[in-house]
Structure 1
């Protein structure tokens, strides 16, 4: 089910800036018992992204109503489902210029919860290392903007390697993230995660972990991760998922990972 500015429809205009240039942003929200989880964090991230991209801010109260509408239309009694909120700068104009545009356009869509996440959470996953490496782009670093071509290439590489996911490095061989999740690891009880000021996406669940745990944020190489006692990844839908193997190196699903799952997993 798709709602564009609150109206059910399946189409968008070809002059839409998101279609033409990827000019916009999005967030994916877990819905539990009919309620959007961490809604304030998702809203704040969308607002920050719009501000950094100089996109006209939408009416957040109106978006909340559209989100509720999409949840009710999809499956209000489902224990878990998902909502994607997509903001485009708008449509009209010619070329890269933003002059003469009609105001921002908001699309809200709903989807079923991916059931395989339950197994991932309980048993952990085995991952590889992507051969696709991210560029350095501090101007857009941290933002979940609509230009996701790097992630599409990473996903193709994951499927080619027949892995469940992969650690993604940048062109300087610095660890950044997973394909669609943030990466954490534990050494001697201390949690570590990559710095995302040069590239990557600052996820909502990453922020939850940073807010409740002492985490060392820095620039690391793959060898640093492979020395870990525990490794896990986070995103808003599957929350905490243990990583039990990276290529040929295995890891324990340890107490810190399980404790975070108790606090954050749906």
Structure 2
């Protein structure tokens, strides 16, 4: 069945151009986890996209009013308001705030304990240095990559860029350990600077190297794990047919520390 909407409902820049950005957060026991890191990323995105920042006190008051319903997903979206013509942003001085809540993907709890098998995506991320690191409202590359995972029956997959460099997983950031060194993609030309990724980099300091690495680095890794604000830290027990040996010492140590923070 075809559904049509009125012209008055489809004139916003968010609808027409994907002109905005968002963050997805884990509400646990009435509190949004890692809120300072989410807020810091939203502020950076506003500045890079030349968007007005919202009234943060009003945003935080709205988050504080959310009912305590155990574990939930909270999405905070910031869209450029009315004004401008075509691609131009002149006159667009207001930022529209949208707050949405949904049920928590409970399979992530099992993933954290049991780990997952990680595949390798055939689709690749194009270079987009103007938007690198940002979680913009246009996520069509991720939609297509997720469709590939579903078609192939994979839980998650590593995504390379068009130069063959490791970038991230479809819905998560990626870390790996070789001996005592820890690595994560630099994400200078694409990808998302995730909040749990930022927390790990802050936690481990100089021990983490942000790199532009070829795929061979993962085949040679002693340990691989995924991160995002909902899954937390998930160990990888197999990658592209290669089994990684437990006990996933680095992942487990970071998991324990992560569970202790708000």
Q: TM-score, normalised by structure 2?
A: 0.92
Mapped contact 2:26–2:72 kept (Cα < 8 A): yes
Mapped contact 1:15–1:92 kept (Cα < 8 A): no
1:35 match: 31
1:168 match: 159
Distance 1:99 1:186 in 2: 47
Listed as ranges, the matches of 1:44-63 within 5 Å are 44-63=40-59
Listed as ranges, the matches of 1:2-41 within 5 Å are 13-41=9-37
Counterpart check, 1:226 vs 2:222: no
Mapped contact 1:191–1:215 kept (Cα < 8 A): yes
Listed as ranges, the matches of 1:193-208 within 5 Å are 193-208=184-199
Distance 2:233 2:69 in 1: 24
Q: Following TM superposition, by how much is the alpha carbon of 1:177 offset from its aligned partner in structure 2, in angstroms?
A: 0.2
Q: Following TM superposition, by how much is the alpha carbon of 1:189 offset from its aligned partner in structure 2, in angstroms?
A: 2.3
2:229 match: 236
Number of positions where the alignment pairs a residue of Structure 1 with one of Structure 2: 250
Could you say what secondary structure the match of 2:9 adopts? coil
Q: Which runs of 5+ in 2 are unaligned?
A: 1-7
Q: Following TM superposition, by how much is the alpha carbon of 1:204 offset from its aligned partner in structure 2, in angstroms?
A: 0.3
Residues 157-202 of structure 1, C-alpha deviation per residue, up to 9 Å, x if partnerless? 1111110000000000100001111000111122111111111100
Structure 2 residue corresponding to 1:256, chosen from 236, 243, 250: 250
1:187 match: 178
Counterpart check, 1:109 vs 2:100: yes
Q: TM-score, normalised by structure 1?
A: 0.90
Q: Following TM superposition, by how much is the alpha carbon of 1:13 offset from its aligned partner in structure 2, in angstroms?
A: 3.4
Distance 2:146 2:180 in 1: 31
Distance 1:34 1:119 in 2: 22
2:142 match: 151
Q: Which runs of 5+ in 1 are unaligned?
A: 1-11
Listed as ranges, the matches of 1:109-148 within 5 Å are 109-148=100-139
Question: What is the alpha-carbon root mean square deviation over aligned residues?
Answer: 1.4
After superposing on structure 2, the runs of 4+ consecutive aligned residues of structure 1 that deviate more than 3 Å are none
Distance 1:16 1:37, change over 3 A: same
Mapped contact 2:22–2:77 kept (Cα < 8 A): yes
